[in-house]
Amino acid sequence: MTEHDIANLLDQAAAARERAYAPYSHFPVGAAVLTNSGEVYTGCNVENASYGATCCAERVALFKAISEGHKEIRAIAVVAAGEEVVPPCGICRQVMIELAPQAVVAMANLEGKREIQRVAELLPSPFGGGYL
């Protein structure tokens, strides 16, 4: 992945953040997923009064890519407000390890601070289908 690829993906995640539906947490998050074929799918968090029905930005973007037939994900970008970068939650990490195990995850705040890790670094010792 080039610096340009990462910057572009983070820009698209920041734009997706603007579409978040976050009336309860007031914490909008945006995500963008880059497939191996070069397609980009974005997502934002969509909250619900029944908190368990909420879906995080990362999963929205991943599910959009998968539902359009993309099985290989190259990178995932996540943008949220805060002094530090905000990593994906545990549920999103579990989904990432299954749907995008080799992906690079670029995390950034609105001030441009960023961190890049691989999915496996975010979720060491994952639970997978091999345990079933």
Which residues does the annotation mark as catalytic? 58
Alpha-carbon distance of 118 to 20, in angstroms, equals: 25
3-state secondary structure 80-112: ECCCCCCCCCHHHHHHHHHHCCCCEEEEECCCC
Collapsing DSSP states into helix, strand and coil, what is residue 123?
A: coil
Nearest residue to 33 via CA among 51, 112, 1, 52: 1
Q: Which two tokens stand for residue 65?
A: 């890519």
